[in-house]
Structure 1
Amino acid sequence: MIIPIYLSSLLMNQSGHDVVKKQISASMASRVHFYLSSLETELARLRRLQMEYVSDDDLLSLGTAVSRMNDFERSRTILSVKSKLYLLKSSSPFVENVKLYVPALGRSIMANNFDDTIPEAELAAMLEPGNMSATVFGFQGRLLLSGVYPDAIYVNRQPVLAIEIELSKAEIVRTLSSMANGEAGGAVWMSADGTWNVTSGLRPPVLSELSGAIGTKPADDRASAPGQFTMKTDAGSFFVAHEYSPVLDSTLAVLVPAEKVMQPLNRHRDWIWLLSLIALVLVVAFSYWIHRLIHKPIKRLVVSFRKVEKGDLGVRVYHRNQDEFHYLYNQFNHMLGRIETLIGEVYEQQIRSQRSELKQLQSQINPHFFYNSFFILQGLVQMREHELADKMFRHLGSYFQFITRNGAETVTLEQEMKHASSYVEIQKFRFSGTIEVEQEELPAEWAQAEVPRLIVQPLIENAYLHGLENKTSDGRLRIGFREEPDGRLRIGIEDNGEELDDLQLERLRKSVSAADRAIETTGLLNIHRRLQLKFGPDCGLSLSRSALGGLKAELTIRKDKEDTA
Structure 2
Amino acid sequence: MRFAVGTWKNASIVVKLMIAFVLVILPLYGISIMITHTSSKQMQTEVEKAHESKLYFYHNHLQFELERMSGLVTEFSFDDTMSTLSTRAAIMSRYEVTSSLNNIHNKLGQIMVTSPYISDVVYYVPALHKRVSAADGIRNVEDGEWKDLLATMGNLNGELSYSDNNLYFLKSNPYNMNHEEPPNFILGIRLSAEELKHRLQQLAETGGSDITLSFGEQHNVVISSSDEPASAAQLQQVSPESPVSMQVTRFQSDPFLYYSLYDPDHSFTLTASIPNDVLKAPLEQYNLWLWMLTLISIVIIMIFSFSIYRSIHKPLSVLIRGFRMAEQGQTSIHIPQSRRDEFGYLYSRFNHMIERLHILIDENYVARIRTSEAELKHLQSQIQPHFLYNSLFSIKQMAEVENVELIQEFTDYLGQYFRYMSRDSHSEVSLGEEVDHALVYASIQKIRFGSRVQLQLEELSREYRDIAIPRVIIQPIVENVFEHALAKRSQGGILKLSYQVDQDKLSIRIEDDGDQLTDEILSNLQASFQESANQRSGNEEITGLMNVNQRLRIKFGTGYGLFAERSVLGGLCMILNIPWRRE
Q: TM-score surpassing 0.5?
A: yes
Residue correspondences, number = 519
Is residue 505 from structure 1 mapped to residue 522 from structure 2 by the alignment? yes
Within 5 A, what are the aligned runs for 1:246-395? Answer: 247-248=267-268, 251-252=271-272, 310-312=330-332, 352-365=370-383, 367-374=385-392, 391-395=409-413
Given that 1:49 and 1:88 are in contact with CA atoms closer than 8 Å, whether structure 2 keeps it comes out as no
1-side partners of 2:402 and 2:103: how far apart? 184
TM-score (norm 1): 0.64
2-side partners of 1:87 and 1:503: how far apart? 140
Q: Which residue of 1 aligns with 2:439?
A: 421
Q: Which residue of 1 aligns with 2:11?
A: none
Is residue 558 from structure 1 mapped to residue 582 from structure 2 by the alignment? no
Q: Which amino acid aligns with 1:448?
A: D
Q: Which residue of 2 aligns with 1:235?
A: none
Given that 1:28 and 1:241 are in contact with CA atoms closer than 8 Å, whether structure 2 keeps it comes out as no
Q: Which residue of 2 aligns with 1:530?
A: 551
Within 5 A, what are the aligned runs for 1:217-228? Answer: 217=235, 219-222=237-240, 225-226=249-250
Given that 1:186 and 1:254 are in contact with CA atoms closer than 8 Å, whether structure 2 keeps it comes out as yes
Within 5 A, what are the aligned runs for 1:52-201? Answer: 70-72=90-92, 94-101=117-124, 105-110=128-133, 114-116=137-139, 132-133=155-156, 164-168=188-192, 172=196, 176=200, 179=203, 188-189=211-212, 197=223, 199=225
Q: Which residue of 1 aligns with 2:566?
A: 545
2-side partners of 1:377 and 1:432: how far apart? 14
Deviation of the 1:491 alpha carbon: 2.5
Over 3 Å counting, the alpha-carbon distance change for 1:483 and 1:499 in structure 2 is same
- Secondary structure in structure 2 of the residue aligned to 1:115: strand
- Secondary structure in structure 1 of the residue aligned to 2:43: helix
- Secondary structure in structure 2 of the residue aligned to 1:557: strand
Given that 1:358 and 1:530 are in contact with CA atoms closer than 8 Å, whether structure 2 keeps it comes out as no
Within 5 A, what are the aligned runs for 1:435-474? Answer: 435-442=453-460, 445-474=463-492
- Secondary structure in structure 1 of the residue aligned to 2:578: strand
Deviation of the 1:305 alpha carbon: 8.5
- Secondary structure in structure 2 of the residue aligned to 1:365: helix
- Secondary structure in structure 1 of the residue aligned to 2:378: helix
Over 3 Å counting, the alpha-carbon distance change for 1:122 and 1:465 in structure 2 is farther
Q: Which residue of 2 aligns with 1:410?
A: 428
> Which stretches in structure 1 are left out of the alignment for 5+ residues?
200-206, 232-239, 561-565
Deviations 1:273-317 (A, max 9, x none): 9xx99x99xxx99x99xx99x999999999998998842488897
- Secondary structure in structure 1 of the residue aligned to 2:547: helix
1-side partners of 2:398 and 2:496: how far apart? 27
Which stretch shifts more, 351-360 or 462-471?
A: 351-360
1-side partners of 2:77 and 2:61: how far apart? 25
Deviation of the 1:499 alpha carbon: 1.2
Which stretch shifts more, 27-36 or 216-225?
A: 216-225
2-side partners of 1:54 and 1:159: how far apart? 19
Deviations 1:427-457 (A, max 9, x none): 3334445444444454655432221111112
- Return the match for 2:508 from 466, 491, 499: 491
Over 3 Å counting, the alpha-carbon distance change for 1:434 and 1:305 in structure 2 is closer
Q: Which residue of 2 aligns with 1:243?
A: 259
Q: Which amino acid aligns with 1:165?
A: I
Is residue 399 from structure 1 mapped to residue 417 from structure 2 by the alignment? yes
Deviations 1:520-548 (A, max 9, x none): 66322221222223223333323233333
- Secondary structure in structure 1 of the residue aligned to 2:550: helix
Over 3 Å counting, the alpha-carbon distance change for 1:391 and 1:162 in structure 2 is farther
2-side partners of 1:312 and 1:469: how far apart? 50
Deviation of the 1:409 alpha carbon: 1.1
- Secondary structure in structure 1 of the residue aligned to 2:237: coil
Deviation of the 1:396 alpha carbon: 3.6
Given that 1:89 and 1:96 are in contact with CA atoms closer than 8 Å, whether structure 2 keeps it comes out as yes
Q: Which amino acid aligns with 1:497?
A: G
Deviations 1:349-390 (A, max 9, x none): 665545434433454536554455555556666667666555
Given that 1:82 and 1:111 are in contact with CA atoms closer than 8 Å, whether structure 2 keeps it comes out as yes
2-side partners of 1:318 and 1:131: how far apart? 98
Which stretch shifts more, 405-414 or 335-344?
A: 335-344
Q: Which amino acid aligns with 1:167?
A: L
Given that 1:40 and 1:248 are in contact with CA atoms closer than 8 Å, whether structure 2 keeps it comes out as no
Q: Which residue of 2 aligns with 1:34?
A: 56
Q: Which amino acid aligns with 2:331?
A: G
Q: Which residue of 2 aligns with 1:22?
A: 44
- Secondary structure in structure 2 of the residue aligned to 1:498: coil
Which stretch shifts more, 503-512 or 161-170?
A: 161-170
Deviations 1:143-196 (A, max 9, x none): 55679987788xxx7997876532246864786588579x69897545699996
Given that 2:239 and 2:251 are in contact with CA atoms closer than 8 Å, whether structure 1 keeps it comes out as no
Identity %: 27
Given that 1:147 and 1:164 are in contact with CA atoms closer than 8 Å, whether structure 2 keeps it comes out as yes
Which stretch shifts more, 351-360 or 401-410?
A: 351-360
Over 3 Å counting, the alpha-carbon distance change for 1:216 and 1:22 in structure 2 is same
Q: Which amino acid aligns with 2:557?
A: G
Deviation of the 1:493 alpha carbon: 1.9
Over 3 Å counting, the alpha-carbon distance change for 1:444 and 1:49 in structure 2 is farther
TM-score (norm 2): 0.62
2-side partners of 1:391 and 1:557: how far apart? 32
Deviation of the 1:408 alpha carbon: 0.6
Deviations 1:408-439 (A, max 9, x none): 11111222122222233333334445444444
- Secondary structure in structure 2 of the residue aligned to 1:405: coil
Q: Which residue of 1 aligns with 2:15?
A: none
> Which stretches in structure 2 are left out of the alignment for 5+ residues?
1-20, 242-247
Which stretch shifts more, 502-511 or 549-558?
A: 502-511
1-side partners of 2:145 and 2:509: how far apart? 133
Over 3 Å counting, the alpha-carbon distance change for 1:70 and 1:557 in structure 2 is same
1-side partners of 2:274 and 2:163: how far apart? 21
Deviations 1:436-488 (A, max 9, x none): 44444546554322211111121122122211233344433333334455x44
Q: Which amino acid aligns with 2:191?
A: L
Given that 1:58 and 1:80 are in contact with CA atoms closer than 8 Å, whether structure 2 keeps it comes out as no
Over 3 Å counting, the alpha-carbon distance change for 1:127 and 1:468 in structure 2 is farther
2-side partners of 1:478 and 1:220: how far apart? 116
